[in-house]
Amino acid sequence: MNKKIKKIILKKNKTKITCLTAYSKNIAKIIDNYCDLILVGDSMANVLYGLKNTHSITLENIIQHTISVKKGTKKSLLVVDMPKNSYNNYKSAINNSKLIIKKTGCDAVKLESNNKNFKIIRNLVKRNIPVMGHIGYTPQFKKKFKIEGDTSKKSKKLLKEALLIEKAGAFAIVLECISSETSKLITASLKIPTIGIGSSSFCDGQILVTDDMLGLSGFYPKFVKKYENLNRIIEKAVKKYTREVKLEKFPAINNFLDGTKRR
């Protein structure tokens, strides 16, 4: 087993697992110093490409961004989202995940669950392709963003789904927007780690979309904590730059390549 994956599994019930998303080298390089896992998420659809949902992200998009992220990643486990419709059957799941791994050198792929694709996961794992599962609010399959597992019937259903994903051989599972009680139950019932997003502190680890926690994306639901307001910081810098260009304060003499005055 990949050593980084083993290390993450061993953290269960010991220390919390820290994860963030990245779509480019410079951000990955910073995250890599602190996080256990970096996810190249298909959330790039909304965050980078301004699309309404994640459905039209292509394999090429995912591969291109992962090549960049990989350049900034040394220590963290690099996991990549399989785009919607890229794992509909055994053949496409195997071919596309192999292509992603071959072209990018990532460690694992993440598949969203539709509560049916357990055998697809099983098949990938059997072929030594490490898989991370994803249940609860799964944007590739569900239209409405809402809390999941908030009744006892829904909770049991989600637990069953999580157990089947574990049985299929996934090494970890993302719980997205799942009620705290259900997250607690799933985390206690699984041997593999649970990584929560909007799913309380009962999970074995946490993930956020980096642009959200940096205050860059404009998307701040209740479960996101804004650790910085990069929008404001970038705006301040851009404003200062444009003012200085207009006032001919920038470039200053020390920015001239030949050290001479323009006029």
Give the binding site for ligand KIV (CB under 6 A): 21, 39, 41-43, 81, 174, 197, 207, 209
Q: Which residue of this chain has its Cβ atom nearest to ligand KIV in the complex? A: 41
- The two tokens of residue 47 are 């965050």
Q: What angle do CA 216, 39, 138 make, to 5 degrees?
A: 85
CB of 18 to ligand KIV, least distance (A): 13
Q: Which is nearer to ligand KIV, 41 or 215 (CB)?
A: 41
CA separation, residue 207 to residues 73, 141, 159, 225 (Å): 17, 20, 20, 11
Q: Which is nearer to ligand KIV, 169 or 205 (CB)?
A: 205
Q: Which of 69, 61, 32 is nearest to 44 (CA)?
A: 61
CB of 6 to ligand KIV, least distance (A): 22
CA separation, residue 147 to residues 133, 193, 210 (Å): 18, 21, 21
CB of 138 to ligand KIV, least distance (A): 9
Let me know if 228 is a catalytic residue.
no
* Active-site pick, 60, 176, 181, 228: 176
Q: Which is nearer to ligand KIV, 111 or 124 (CB)?
A: 111
CA separation, residue 118 to residues 17, 61, 85 (Å): 24, 25, 15
CB of 263 to ligand KIV, least distance (A): 50
Catalytic residues: 176
